[in-house]
Protein backbone atom coordinates (compact mmCIF):
# COMPACT_ATOMS: atom_id res chain seq x y z
CA UNK A 1 0.00 0.00 0.00
CA UNK A 2 1.41 3.38 -1.03
CA UNK A 3 1.78 5.96 1.72
CA UNK A 4 0.62 9.58 1.22
CA UNK A 5 1.37 12.41 3.64
CA UNK A 6 -1.29 15.10 3.41
CA UNK A 7 -0.78 18.70 4.49
CA UNK A 8 -3.65 19.22 6.95
CA UNK A 9 -4.42 22.92 7.41
CA UNK A 10 -7.57 22.58 9.45
CA UNK A 11 -9.65 23.68 6.44
CA UNK A 12 -12.26 21.92 4.36
CA UNK A 13 -10.05 21.42 1.27
CA UNK A 14 -7.31 19.42 2.98
CA UNK A 15 -9.95 17.52 4.98
CA UNK A 16 -11.68 16.28 1.83
CA UNK A 17 -8.32 15.64 0.13
CA UNK A 18 -7.38 13.26 2.96
CA UNK A 19 -10.75 11.49 2.75
CA UNK A 20 -10.54 10.99 -1.02
CA UNK A 21 -7.03 9.53 -0.77
CA UNK A 22 -8.13 7.07 1.88
CA UNK A 23 -11.07 6.06 -0.31
CA UNK A 24 -8.61 5.43 -3.16
CA UNK A 25 -6.76 2.91 -1.02
CA UNK A 26 -3.72 4.88 0.10
CA UNK A 27 -2.26 4.75 3.59
CA UNK A 28 -2.89 8.35 4.63
CA UNK A 29 -0.96 10.33 7.23
CA UNK A 30 -1.81 13.91 8.15
CA UNK A 31 0.88 16.53 8.80
CA UNK A 32 0.06 19.94 10.30
CA UNK A 33 2.56 22.76 9.76
CA UNK A 34 3.17 25.43 12.37
CA UNK A 35 4.87 28.30 10.56
CA UNK A 36 4.26 31.41 12.62
CA UNK A 37 5.05 31.93 16.31
CA UNK A 38 3.03 34.76 17.78
CA UNK A 39 4.77 34.47 21.14
CA UNK A 40 8.11 35.35 19.49
CA UNK A 41 6.86 37.70 16.79
CA UNK A 42 5.03 39.79 19.36
CA UNK A 43 3.01 42.91 18.77
CA UNK A 44 5.21 45.56 20.34
CA UNK A 45 2.47 48.17 20.05
CA UNK A 46 0.19 46.21 22.33
CA UNK A 47 -2.57 45.81 19.77
CA UNK A 48 -5.07 43.14 20.82
CA UNK A 49 -5.57 41.47 17.45
CA UNK A 50 -2.65 39.08 18.01
CA UNK A 51 -4.56 37.38 20.80
CA UNK A 52 -7.10 36.40 18.18
CA UNK A 53 -4.26 35.02 16.07
CA UNK A 54 -3.25 32.64 18.86
CA UNK A 55 -6.81 31.35 19.02
CA UNK A 56 -7.04 30.99 15.23
CA UNK A 57 -3.73 29.18 14.99
CA UNK A 58 -4.63 26.67 17.67
CA UNK A 59 -8.17 26.34 16.33
CA UNK A 60 -6.83 25.26 12.95
CA UNK A 61 -4.76 22.56 14.62
CA UNK A 62 -7.69 21.41 16.75
CA UNK A 63 -9.90 21.23 13.65
CA UNK A 64 -7.26 19.12 11.89
CA UNK A 65 -7.09 16.81 14.93
CA UNK A 66 -10.85 16.32 14.86
CA UNK A 67 -10.90 15.63 11.10
CA UNK A 68 -8.13 13.05 11.39
CA UNK A 69 -9.94 11.32 14.24
CA UNK A 70 -13.10 11.19 12.13
CA UNK A 71 -11.19 9.75 9.17
CA UNK A 72 -9.16 7.44 11.43
CA UNK A 73 -5.78 8.64 10.20
CA UNK A 74 -2.77 9.73 12.30
CA UNK A 75 -1.81 13.39 12.54
CA UNK A 76 1.68 14.74 13.14
CA UNK A 77 2.61 18.34 13.91
CA UNK A 78 5.81 19.95 12.68
CA UNK A 79 7.43 23.32 13.37
CA UNK A 80 8.68 25.35 10.38
CA UNK A 81 8.77 28.71 12.15
CA UNK A 82 12.47 29.33 11.38
CA UNK A 83 12.15 28.22 7.76
CA UNK A 84 9.11 30.40 7.23
CA UNK A 85 10.88 33.40 8.70
CA UNK A 86 14.08 32.83 6.68
CA UNK A 87 12.56 32.07 3.29
CA UNK A 88 9.13 33.70 3.23
CA UNK A 89 8.69 36.48 5.77
CA UNK A 90 12.16 37.97 5.27
CA UNK A 91 11.51 38.00 1.51
CA UNK A 92 8.17 39.69 2.17
CA UNK A 93 9.78 42.46 4.24
CA UNK A 94 12.68 42.94 1.81
CA UNK A 95 10.28 43.41 -1.10
CA UNK A 96 8.23 45.94 0.85
CA UNK A 97 11.40 47.90 1.63
CA UNK A 98 11.99 48.15 -2.12
CA UNK A 99 8.51 49.61 -2.55
CA UNK A 100 7.28 46.52 -4.38
CA UNK A 101 4.15 44.42 -3.78
CA UNK A 102 5.25 40.86 -2.93
CA UNK A 103 3.22 37.66 -3.01
CA UNK A 104 4.42 35.59 -0.02
CA UNK A 105 1.99 32.73 -0.76
CA UNK A 106 4.03 31.82 -3.84
CA UNK A 107 7.28 31.64 -1.85
CA UNK A 108 5.51 29.73 0.91
CA UNK A 109 4.63 27.02 -1.61
CA UNK A 110 8.14 26.97 -3.04
CA UNK A 111 10.10 26.83 0.21
CA UNK A 112 7.70 25.46 2.83
CA UNK A 113 4.83 23.37 1.47
CA UNK A 114 6.82 21.75 -1.32
CA UNK A 115 10.29 21.73 0.24
CA UNK A 116 10.47 21.68 4.05
CA UNK A 117 7.18 19.79 4.19
CA UNK A 118 8.41 17.20 1.67
CA UNK A 119 11.57 16.55 3.71
CA UNK A 120 9.44 15.92 6.80
CA UNK A 121 7.05 13.71 4.83
CA UNK A 122 9.95 11.57 3.61
CA UNK A 123 10.93 10.97 7.25
CA UNK A 124 7.45 9.51 7.69
CA UNK A 125 8.02 7.15 4.77
CA UNK A 126 5.93 9.01 2.20
CA UNK A 127 5.67 7.73 -1.35
CA UNK A 128 3.66 10.80 -2.24
CA UNK A 129 2.64 14.10 -0.69
CA UNK A 130 -0.76 15.70 -1.16
CA UNK A 131 -2.35 19.07 -0.48
CA UNK A 132 -5.79 20.63 -0.88
CA UNK A 133 -4.78 22.89 -3.76
CA UNK A 134 -7.16 23.37 -6.67
CA UNK A 135 -4.80 22.17 -9.38
CA UNK A 136 -4.12 18.98 -11.37
CA UNK A 137 -1.06 17.06 -12.48
CA UNK A 138 -1.22 14.93 -15.61
CA UNK A 139 1.78 13.34 -17.33
CA UNK A 140 4.14 15.60 -15.41
CA UNK A 141 2.28 18.77 -16.40
CA UNK A 142 0.75 21.22 -13.95
CA UNK A 143 -2.81 21.93 -15.07
CA UNK A 144 -5.43 24.36 -13.86
CA UNK A 145 -8.01 23.20 -11.34
CA UNK A 146 -11.43 22.49 -12.83
CA UNK A 147 -12.98 25.23 -10.70
CA UNK A 148 -11.89 28.40 -12.50
CA UNK A 149 -12.80 30.55 -9.51
CA UNK A 150 -10.57 28.54 -7.17
CA UNK A 151 -7.72 27.49 -9.49
CA UNK A 152 -4.46 27.90 -7.55
CA UNK A 153 -1.82 27.23 -10.19
CA UNK A 154 -0.90 30.93 -10.00
CA UNK A 155 0.45 30.28 -6.49
CA UNK A 156 2.29 27.12 -7.62
CA UNK A 157 4.16 28.80 -10.48
CA UNK A 158 7.56 28.85 -8.71
CA UNK A 159 7.64 25.08 -8.18
CA UNK A 160 10.17 23.08 -10.15
CA UNK A 161 9.30 20.14 -12.35
CA UNK A 162 10.97 17.89 -9.78
CA UNK A 163 8.88 19.33 -6.95
CA UNK A 164 5.65 18.13 -8.56
CA UNK A 165 6.90 14.63 -9.42
CA UNK A 166 5.35 12.81 -6.47
CA UNK A 167 2.54 15.23 -5.66
CA UNK A 168 -1.18 14.51 -5.68
CA UNK A 169 -3.88 17.17 -5.77
CA UNK A 170 -6.97 15.11 -4.85
CA UNK A 171 -9.55 17.90 -5.22
CA UNK A 172 -8.26 19.51 -8.41
CA UNK A 173 -11.02 17.85 -10.46
CA UNK A 174 -13.78 19.19 -8.17
CA UNK A 175 -15.69 22.43 -7.84
CA UNK A 176 -15.59 24.10 -4.43
CA UNK A 177 -19.26 23.41 -3.77
CA UNK A 178 -18.64 19.70 -4.40
CA UNK A 179 -15.85 19.70 -1.83
CA UNK A 180 -18.16 21.23 0.76
CA UNK A 181 -20.92 18.75 -0.12
CA UNK A 182 -18.55 15.83 0.51
CA UNK A 183 -17.51 17.31 3.84
CA UNK A 184 -21.14 17.84 4.86
CA UNK A 185 -22.09 14.25 4.00
CA UNK A 186 -19.15 13.01 6.09
CA UNK A 187 -20.13 15.26 8.98
CA UNK A 188 -16.70 16.90 9.08
CA UNK A 189 -16.32 19.84 11.43
CA UNK A 190 -14.62 21.83 8.66
CA UNK A 191 -17.52 21.52 6.19
CA UNK A 192 -18.77 25.08 6.68
CA UNK A 193 -15.51 26.65 7.82
CA UNK A 194 -14.60 29.83 5.95
CA UNK A 195 -11.59 29.78 3.66
CA UNK A 196 -8.45 31.33 5.13
CA UNK A 197 -7.46 34.75 3.79
CA UNK A 198 -4.67 37.23 4.32
CA UNK A 199 -0.93 36.56 4.33
CA UNK A 200 -0.02 32.87 4.06
CA UNK A 201 0.01 31.35 7.59
CA UNK A 202 -0.17 34.80 9.20
CA UNK A 203 -3.77 35.43 8.24
CA UNK A 204 -5.90 38.54 8.22
CA UNK A 205 -4.56 41.49 10.15
CA UNK A 206 -4.62 45.20 10.40
CA UNK A 207 -1.84 45.47 7.85
CA UNK A 208 -0.44 48.82 8.97
CA UNK A 209 -0.41 47.89 12.64
CA UNK A 210 1.19 44.54 11.91
CA UNK A 211 3.97 45.87 9.68
CA UNK A 212 4.77 48.64 12.15
CA UNK A 213 6.41 45.92 14.28
CA UNK A 214 8.99 45.26 11.56
CA UNK A 215 9.23 48.33 9.33
CA UNK A 216 8.99 51.90 10.63
CA UNK A 217 6.49 54.29 9.09
CA UNK A 218 8.12 56.71 6.65
CA UNK A 219 5.55 59.37 5.74
CA UNK A 220 5.99 61.34 2.55
CA UNK A 221 4.21 63.41 -0.08
CA UNK A 222 1.33 62.32 -2.29
CA UNK A 223 1.78 63.99 -5.68
CA UNK A 224 -0.49 64.25 -8.71
CA UNK A 225 1.68 62.80 -11.48
CA UNK A 226 0.04 64.96 -14.15
CA UNK A 227 0.85 68.38 -12.69
CA UNK A 228 3.18 67.69 -9.71
CA UNK A 229 0.63 69.16 -7.30
CA UNK A 230 1.13 68.02 -3.70
CA UNK A 231 -2.21 66.55 -2.61
CA UNK A 232 -1.45 65.22 0.84
CA UNK A 233 0.76 62.87 2.83
CA UNK A 234 1.13 59.09 2.73
CA UNK A 235 2.03 56.95 5.75
CA UNK A 236 4.70 54.88 3.98
CA UNK A 237 5.20 53.64 0.41
CA UNK A 238 5.04 50.00 1.48
CA UNK A 239 1.33 50.33 2.29
CA UNK A 240 0.35 51.17 -1.28
CA UNK A 241 0.24 49.21 -4.50
CA UNK A 242 -0.16 50.19 -8.15
CA UNK A 243 -3.82 50.54 -9.06
CA UNK A 244 -4.91 50.97 -5.44
CA UNK A 245 -7.86 53.28 -4.88
CA UNK A 246 -8.92 52.72 -1.27
CA UNK A 247 -6.91 54.15 1.61
CA UNK A 248 -5.61 57.24 -0.19
CA UNK A 249 -6.47 60.19 2.02
CA UNK A 250 -6.71 63.39 0.00
CA UNK A 251 -8.48 66.07 2.04
CA UNK A 252 -11.99 64.68 1.73
CA UNK A 253 -11.91 64.36 -2.09
CA UNK A 254 -14.55 62.02 -3.52
CA UNK A 255 -12.96 61.83 -6.98
CA UNK A 256 -11.63 58.47 -8.16
CA UNK A 257 -7.92 58.58 -7.47
CA UNK A 258 -5.43 55.77 -8.01
CA UNK A 259 -1.85 54.97 -7.12
CA UNK A 260 0.17 54.98 -10.34
CA UNK A 261 3.80 55.07 -9.19
CA UNK A 262 6.38 55.46 -6.47
CA UNK A 263 9.62 57.34 -6.15
CA UNK A 264 11.55 55.40 -3.54
CA UNK A 265 14.50 57.81 -3.51
CA UNK A 266 12.39 60.87 -2.66
CA UNK A 267 9.66 58.92 -0.84
CA UNK A 268 6.89 60.20 -3.12
CA UNK A 269 3.62 58.42 -3.87
CA UNK A 270 2.31 59.34 -7.32
CA UNK A 271 -1.43 59.28 -8.00
CA UNK A 272 -3.74 60.11 -10.89
CA UNK A 273 -7.46 60.74 -11.34
CA UNK A 274 -9.89 58.58 -13.32
CA UNK A 275 -10.56 54.89 -13.97
CA UNK A 276 -8.83 54.95 -17.34
CA UNK A 277 -5.99 57.33 -16.69
CA UNK A 278 -3.10 56.62 -19.04
CA UNK A 279 -0.66 56.33 -16.12
CA UNK A 280 -2.48 53.21 -14.88
CA UNK A 281 -1.61 51.26 -18.03
CA UNK A 282 1.44 49.55 -19.48
CA UNK A 283 2.14 47.55 -22.64
CA UNK A 284 5.15 45.45 -21.64
CA UNK A 285 7.03 44.21 -18.60
CA UNK A 286 10.37 42.70 -17.69
CA UNK A 287 9.93 39.50 -15.70
CA UNK A 288 12.79 38.25 -13.49
CA UNK A 289 13.42 35.02 -11.55
CA UNK A 290 11.49 33.12 -14.20
CA UNK A 291 10.84 29.50 -13.27
CA UNK A 292 9.77 26.96 -15.89
CA UNK A 293 7.72 23.94 -14.86
CA UNK A 294 6.99 22.97 -18.45
CA UNK A 295 9.36 22.11 -21.26
CA UNK A 296 7.38 24.40 -23.57
CA UNK A 297 8.88 27.76 -24.48
CA UNK A 298 6.26 29.43 -26.66
CA UNK A 299 6.61 32.90 -28.15
CA UNK A 300 2.87 33.44 -27.70
CA UNK A 301 0.73 32.30 -24.78
CA UNK A 302 -1.49 33.80 -22.10
CA UNK A 303 -0.50 35.23 -18.74
CA UNK A 304 -1.97 36.37 -15.45
CA UNK A 305 -0.37 39.39 -13.78
CA UNK A 306 -2.42 38.89 -10.61
CA UNK A 307 -4.56 36.16 -9.12
CA UNK A 308 -8.13 35.89 -10.48
CA UNK A 309 -7.25 38.08 -13.45
CA UNK A 310 -8.62 36.92 -16.80
CA UNK A 311 -5.95 35.41 -19.06
CA UNK A 312 -4.17 38.04 -21.14
CA UNK A 313 -2.66 37.36 -24.56
CA UNK A 314 1.09 37.99 -24.46
CA UNK A 315 4.21 37.68 -26.59
CA UNK A 316 7.41 36.49 -24.96
CA UNK A 317 10.94 37.64 -25.75
CA UNK A 318 13.50 35.40 -24.05
CA UNK A 319 16.41 37.42 -22.70
CA UNK A 320 18.17 34.67 -20.72
CA UNK A 321 17.26 31.66 -18.58
CA UNK A 322 15.58 33.71 -15.86
CA UNK A 323 14.46 36.92 -17.64
CA UNK A 324 11.64 37.36 -20.13
CA UNK A 325 10.23 40.50 -21.76
CA UNK A 326 6.45 40.24 -22.00
CA UNK A 327 4.52 42.33 -24.52
CA UNK A 328 0.76 42.86 -24.37
CA UNK A 329 -2.05 45.25 -25.22
CA UNK A 330 -2.56 47.94 -22.61
CA UNK A 331 -3.24 46.32 -19.23
CA UNK A 332 -4.18 48.15 -16.07
CA UNK A 333 -2.17 48.08 -12.85
CA UNK A 334 0.60 45.61 -13.69
CA UNK A 335 2.57 45.75 -10.46
CA UNK A 336 6.29 45.19 -9.72
CA UNK A 337 6.81 42.46 -7.13
CA UNK A 338 3.73 40.51 -8.15
CA UNK A 339 3.90 37.28 -10.13
CA UNK A 340 3.45 36.97 -13.86
CA UNK A 341 2.32 33.40 -14.58
CA UNK A 342 2.31 31.85 -18.07
CA UNK A 343 -0.30 29.46 -19.48
CA UNK A 344 -0.73 27.45 -22.65
CA UNK A 345 -4.34 26.35 -22.58
CA UNK A 346 -4.87 24.37 -19.38
CA UNK A 347 -1.17 24.01 -18.64
CA UNK A 348 0.67 26.30 -16.24
CA UNK A 349 4.09 26.77 -17.82
CA UNK A 350 5.67 28.58 -14.88
CA UNK A 351 6.20 32.22 -14.04
CA UNK A 352 8.38 34.92 -12.58
CA UNK A 353 8.32 38.21 -10.71
CA UNK A 354 7.43 41.50 -12.37
CA UNK A 355 10.52 43.72 -12.20
CA UNK A 356 9.81 46.71 -14.45
CA UNK A 357 6.84 47.89 -16.49
CA UNK A 358 6.87 49.98 -19.67
CA UNK A 359 4.67 52.08 -21.90
CA UNK A 360 6.00 52.79 -25.41
CA UNK A 361 9.38 51.40 -24.29
CA UNK A 362 9.60 53.94 -21.46
CA UNK A 363 9.94 52.51 -17.95
CA UNK A 364 7.18 53.57 -15.62
CA UNK A 365 6.41 53.18 -11.90
CA UNK A 366 9.82 54.37 -10.64
CA UNK A 367 9.74 57.95 -11.83
pLDDT the model gives residue 47: 41
Does 67 map to a domain? yes
Question: What confidence score (pLDDT) does residue 202 get?
Answer: 60
Q: Are residues 8 and 113 in the same domain?
A: yes
Q: Are residues 30 and 146 in the same domain?
A: yes
Are 188 and 307 in a shared domain? no
Question: pLDDT tens for residues 139-182?
Answer: 999 999 999 999 999 999 999 999 999 999 999 999 999 999 99
Closest CA to 30 of 78, 72, 70, 68: 68
The count of domains in the chain is 3
Spell out, as residue ranges, where the chain has pLDDT lower than 50: 42-54
Residue range of the domain that includes 39: 3-207
Give the per-residue pLDDT at 46: 40
Residues 202 and 230 in one domain: no
Q: Is residue 112 part of a domain?
A: yes
Q: What pTM was estimated for this model as a whole?
A: 0.91
Q: How confident is the model over 270-287, as pLDDT tens digits?
A: 999 998 999 999 999 999
Q: Are residues 150 and 66 in the same domain?
A: yes
**348: in domain:** yes
Please confirm, yes or no, whether 200 is among the known catalytic residues.
yes
| Residues 49, 23 contacting (CB under 8 angstroms) | no
Between CA 36 and CA 9 the distance in angstroms is 13
Distance, in Å, from the CA atom of 115 to the CA atom of 365, rounded to the nearest integer, reads 34
CA torsion sign, 345 to 135 to 101 to 273?
positive
Which of 108, 301, 340, 348 is the catalytic position? 108
Residues 6+ apart with CB under 8 A from 198: 204, 205
CATH of the domain at 312: 2.40.30.10
pLDDT confidence of residue 201: 53
81 occurs within a structural domain: yes
Catalytic residue among 200, 301, 340, 348: 200
Residues 42 and 144 in one domain: yes
Phi, psi of 20 (to 5 degrees): -60, -40
CATH, residue 268:
2.30.30.280
Residues 269 and 327 in one domain: no
CATH number of the domain enclosing 95: 3.40.50.620
What DSSP line would sit under 38-82, residue for residue?
TTTS--TT--THHHHHHHHHHHHHHHHHHHHHHHT--EEEEE-HH
Q: Which of 193, 148, 201 is nearest to 172 (CA)?
A: 148
Residue 199's pLDDT is what? Answer: 62
Pairing of strands 257-263, 268-273: antiparallel
Same domain for 112 and 133, yes or no, is: yes
Contact 350, 293 (CB under 8 A): yes
Same domain as 198, residue 244? no
Flag whether 84 is in a domain: yes
Amino acid sequence: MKKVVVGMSGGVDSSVAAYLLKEQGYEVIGLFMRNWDTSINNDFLGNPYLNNDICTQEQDYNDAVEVCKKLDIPLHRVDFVKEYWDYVFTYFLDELKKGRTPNPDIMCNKYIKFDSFVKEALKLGADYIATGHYARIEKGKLLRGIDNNKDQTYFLSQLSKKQIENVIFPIGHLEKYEVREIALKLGLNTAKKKDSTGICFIGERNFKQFLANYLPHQPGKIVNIENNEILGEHVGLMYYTIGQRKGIEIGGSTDKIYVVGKNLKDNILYVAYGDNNKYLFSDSALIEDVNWISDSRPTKCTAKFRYRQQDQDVELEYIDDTHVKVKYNNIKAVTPGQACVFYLGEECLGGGIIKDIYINNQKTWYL
